Structure 1
């Protein structure tokens, strides 16, 4: 199996990042989200791709990595300042930490290879952070639990594009 190269995403990676994200989310959450989930997510393309390109050009305090084999994206990870606008708009504040792991997805071909751990380890700045977890995603819950994240005793409904699926946050108070 080829070894992915981890790099900081560039603005020209925004299209591929978006497409990879939607594809991986649809695969990860099959049976948990509506059948037209990917179509719903793709409707955000025109807004999100320019935002991603800008963020990759001027990352500020956000941290992102992309894993590639050749030109193909096989993994993504990013940590951002929290709370995000959708969290504020949805009333999901206060945040349990000032940083959020907002993306960590790896192609199924690379599950079990250590790529997710490499992405997380290399994007993590060691500060306390949280993430959102779709209830029923036990593989992810176990992965994050092994890395010091704990489920918070809360439950929220995801937005319309996610079909209102149940979700909660996991918090890691200190880096392990």
Structure 2
């Protein structure tokens, strides 16, 4: 069965928070120091509160919902994406892809492309990605994004990020 993609609601906060933390663990293993990754992905309560707050504030976040109706709460949401007005002072596009993640079991299934489509469509957009995240950079290139040469340090995970842009 194909996962449903829909907008997140307040009721989704805990399942979405699980997805967020598990996606970080899966996507950043080997990129982020193991102890830092474990610490940054350990606070389910805080991440749940952040998801609930974002939904209450009207942020649009798209969820990919596990087609298995018996899935446990930590496996109920298997991916998500969000976008909005670009936050950079020198933004190359008006739209920024803030986040797109899929659980590892769903990599290479087309789910990422579906989540990208609902978040930004074919519109010009920019995004930030960890410089050493080859898998993500390949995905973005396949979807028309190119590196624009701008870099910055991400203090949360302690890695360098690069900006990619699709005009």
How far residue 4 of structure 1 moved from its aligned partner, in angstroms, is 0.8
Q: How many residues align?
A: 159
- Runs of 4+ more than 3 Å apart: 41-45, 48-51
CA distance in 2, matches of 1:42, 1:49: 12
Distance (Å, rounded) in 2 between the aligned partners of 1:166 and 1:5 = 33
Q: Once the 2 structures are TM-superposed, how far is the Cα of residue 108 of structure 1 from its aligned partner?
A: 1.3
The partner residue of 2:63 within 63, 66, 80 is 66
DSSP 3-state at the match of 2:150: coil
**Mapped partners of 2:94, 2:140: distance in 1:** 18
Give yes or no for contact 1:79–1:123 (8 Å, CA) kept in 2. Answer: yes
Structure 1 residue 66: deviation in Å? 0.4
Rounded to whole Å, the distance in 2 between the matches of 1:117 and 1:54 is 27
| Deviation per residue, 1:102-124 (Å, 9 max, x gap) | 11111111111111111111222
Query: CA-to-partner distance for each residue in 1:25-58, whole Å, 9 max, x for gaps?
Result: 1211112112122322445853x53342233244
Tell me the equivalent position of 2:123. 127
Compute the RMSD of aligned alpha carbons. Answer: 2.1
Unaligned 5+ runs, structure 1: 84-91
- SS of residue paired to 1:123: helix
Q: Map residues 146-165 of structure 1 onto 2, 5 A cutoff.
A: 146-159=142-155, 161-162=156-157, 164-165=158-159
Q: Hey, what does 2:38 align to over in structure 1? A: 38
Q: Secondary structure at the match of 1:67?
A: strand
Closer, same or farther in 2 for the Cα pair 1:168/1:23, shift >3 Å? same
Which residue, out of 154, 157, 161, partners 1:167?
161
What does residue range 75-90 of structure 1 map to in structure 2 within 5 Å? 75-83=79-87
Alignment of 1:87-102 (within 5 A): 93-102=89-98
CA distance in 1, matches of 2:48, 2:151: 30
TM-score (norm 2): 0.83
Consecutive unaligned residues of structure 2, counting only runs of 5 or more, are none
| Alpha-carbon distance between aligned partners in 2 of 1:141 and 1:43, rounded to the nearest angstrom | 27
SS at match of 1:113: coil
Contact persistence 1:134–1:167 (CA under 8 A): yes
Residues 102-117 of structure 1 aligned to structure 2 (within 5 Å) = 102-117=98-113
